Structure 1
């Protein structure tokens, strides 16, 4: 039996999946006179304090026996460069492998050195965590989920989640869902290809992967790809909250705005209520369904929520936090990677054809025209044979990692392997986006899309160190859903590239990212699809 929360479909305009947070947009949000007055009063002393810190840091560096990372600027430089933040950070990483940005409350240390990354994520794992600072920023949206907490709370959730992700039941169930939704997406693309329409592939991927992750997580049919109004409302609220949550990292006034319930903080509060109402409704509906059928006789308990509820009666807030963290891990990351993947295939048609040919050989497809039939026929063995596809997806993640930067808090004074010292309270950040573009890590062609760099002489995929290729984190916090993500992306790629060739709708228009927690394509990815097989 399936819970259906979204039973009022709408064919209205596409979902707007994230809030644009350009400086002009934020200015309009902060237009209240009392906030402008406060900013005018507070900004000059803060700038004076930062100037003092820069001078003091340089003097201290000369006097202290400890070596501290070079000062590359202040957090206000990030604010000024926010629309192109990852370009700015990449430029600094190319100049300094490890550096500092000074802030009014804490320094921020950024590194692209794999030895440092290994030390932070594994060797001295206990000294680098989310901390109160990251928790305060992320918890309104993600609660006490696995991405916001440390210590025993994190260990307990990690243990439970690790067990669930390792079960064959969940793997098989998720694969069925991925194949079903990939076929549904192919039908939509087929209609657009036949009529010659332009599509926003990122929008379609976002809706489709949200449907998949909801079914796997909640056992619920969200059906946002077909325009469910409740699904659209939830999706907008979720993505807007994600964008505004990231803004908190550069908005030194966000706590004041939260206390006054104004501007972006008022928007976050409103959106989180929409999210909570939707998620709690799902949890209560699933719990009632299981109680009515009896725990022993409840259906398959394949989805994550049902499996948690079957173990014991858990606090709804605890379940809400676990599932929302699961959604943010599995929705945006996969959808954005697939979007950048299609973009790169459009820019490199030779790679697109090579991937399509490998899929054809691996699946032994012979002019199959039914999307659902083809998707269902894709076996684990066939997916395993797609080594070049796996390499192309990894190369996409190297250049466009779903999470472009990951911040930890230093709990006590420490010294990194490169000899640079960090202080208690410093924010320490490793940068997957910048690291993927470093010539000292990937060679002179670091900025080129070249899947072959991941293959050995036999054409077999050759993984890199997770401390060099950091798209999935590493150490104790390495992504539990890594295999799930690759499986879903390979299934979608196999279905879509078997039946369609893709081209950018405007090859002269620059494609940029939007600065958010996840690396969205700004304003969507607009492409045209063309049938590879003659239509019946």
Structure 2
């Protein structure tokens, strides 16, 4: 929330936070690639009472303009005014990413780490951090400004590959004709990338593509299958229209999980583990952004001495 909106909330019941979450889900529903059939069946657009049409008309009829990036672009009076296609592309990018996708990846990854298989991953994760940085306090300080620990990088990469937060990426239009497997794709064709399918392609990731295995990104443990080069996976898309927040998203996940594992062990809770299957874990496949089904876990302090945790927190405050 701090990164996306410049606001820090102290309670999950804060009305402003709840309003933001509600608005985000409505936007996600309104422009979901795989929910709105009228995007693909023109006849459905003539129906007067579709929920999407009614919601859009209600917003337009209110005739209110909120100060935002899109409004400033539309009202730009400079000579270098953007085209309508440019405006659409920018707007789509702004509403497609952000805290919702970060939350999906984080929640799903924590659900996996709470499992029996996830315990072994945590052990290696913690040992690797200690090997790189030497101490908890040094690691706590360094993971904010660098990404030197190879296992953390591998874990974040596998999180994004295995649990793609947006399964069907926002539509892209071809800018020029190109040849693909003997077929000419003309200019102006809308392309929808199935990130979930690409990220689990056994031709790219090996026969264990359906398994959560961070070690696939470590050169010495690739089991004879070299991992794909950049962009590594399609959670961010690829090419010139890839997500512009790749660098900061990777850093946020790197820092969040490194600091979490430095102080805590993620364990199973009696209320139930998450469904860790990358297809069935999603509570509503019709939404643009995946949302893991309800699950719970426990965070157990690694050190019995709470002074270490307080020392780390104090470093952050300073």
TM-score for the superposition, normalised by structure 1: 0.44
Aligned residue for 2:152?
389
More helix by share: 1
Q: Taking structure 1 as reference, are residues 378 and 228 closer, same or farther at Cα in structure 2, changes over 3 Å only?
A: farther
Corresponding position: 1:229 with 2:15: yes
Q: Taking structure 1 as reference, are residues 244 and 478 closer, same or farther at Cα in structure 2, changes over 3 Å only?
A: closer
Q: Taking structure 1 as reference, are residues 262 and 404 closer, same or farther at Cα in structure 2, changes over 3 Å only?
A: closer
1:323, CA displacement in angstroms?
8.3
Given candidates 365, 389, 401, the residue that maps to 2:135 is 365
Corresponding position: 1:250 with 2:34: no
Given that residues 336 and 402 in structure 1 are in contact (C-alpha distance below 8 angstroms), is that contact kept between their aligned partners in structure 2?
yes
1:266, CA displacement in angstroms?
2.6
Superposed, which structure 2 residues align to 1:137-152 within 5 Å?
Answer: none
Given candidates 254, 260, 266, the residue that maps to 1:490 is 254
Q: Taking structure 1 as reference, are residues 341 and 508 closer, same or farther at Cα in structure 2, changes over 3 Å only?
A: closer
For residues 467-497 of structure 1, give each alpha carbon's deviation from its aligned partner in whole angstroms, at most 9, with x where no partner exists: 6622222222233211101111111112211
1:263, CA displacement in angstroms?
1.9
Given that residues 391 and 452 in structure 1 are in contact (C-alpha distance below 8 angstroms), is that contact kept between their aligned partners in structure 2?
yes
Given that residues 154 and 217 in structure 2 are in contact (C-alpha distance below 8 angstroms), is that contact kept between their aligned partners in structure 1?
yes
Aligned with 1:501: secondary structure? Answer: strand
Aligned residue for 1:520?
291
Aligned with 1:384: secondary structure? Answer: coil
Aligned residue for 1:445?
208
Q: Taking structure 1 as reference, are residues 426 and 444 closer, same or farther at Cα in structure 2, changes over 3 Å only?
A: same
Aligned with 2:126: secondary structure? Answer: helix
Give the number of the structure whose alpha-carbon radius of gyration is greater.
1
1:269, CA displacement in angstroms?
5.5
What CA distance in whole angstroms lies between the structure 2 residues aligned with 1:343 and 1:439? 24
What CA distance in whole angstroms lies between the structure 1 residues aligned with 2:131 and 2:120? 17
What CA distance in whole angstroms lies between the structure 2 residues aligned with 1:432 and 1:248? 16
Q: Taking structure 1 as reference, are residues 494 and 242 closer, same or farther at Cα in structure 2, changes over 3 Å only?
A: same
Aligned residue for 2:309?
none
Given that residues 274 and 295 in structure 2 are in contact (C-alpha distance below 8 angstroms), is that contact kept between their aligned partners in structure 1?
no
Given that residues 211 and 224 in structure 1 are in contact (C-alpha distance below 8 angstroms), is that contact kept between their aligned partners in structure 2?
no
Superposed, which structure 2 residues align to 1:419-458 within 5 Å?
Answer: 419-422=182-185, 426-457=189-220
Q: Taking structure 1 as reference, are residues 526 and 255 closer, same or farther at Cα in structure 2, changes over 3 Å only?
A: farther
Superposed CA RMSD: 4.2
Given that residues 172 and 191 in structure 2 are in contact (C-alpha distance below 8 angstroms), is that contact kept between their aligned partners in structure 1?
yes
Superposed, which structure 2 residues align to 1:199-210 within 5 Å?
Answer: 210=1
TM-score for the superposition, normalised by structure 2: 0.70
Q: Taking structure 1 as reference, are residues 225 and 359 closer, same or farther at Cα in structure 2, changes over 3 Å only?
A: farther
Given that residues 333 and 403 in structure 1 are in contact (C-alpha distance below 8 angstroms), is that contact kept between their aligned partners in structure 2?
yes
Structure 1: 5+ residue runs without aligned partners? Answer: 1-209, 216-220, 288-313
> How many residue pairs get matched?
281
Q: Taking structure 1 as reference, are residues 386 and 244 closer, same or farther at Cα in structure 2, changes over 3 Å only?
A: same
Aligned with 1:529: secondary structure? Answer: strand
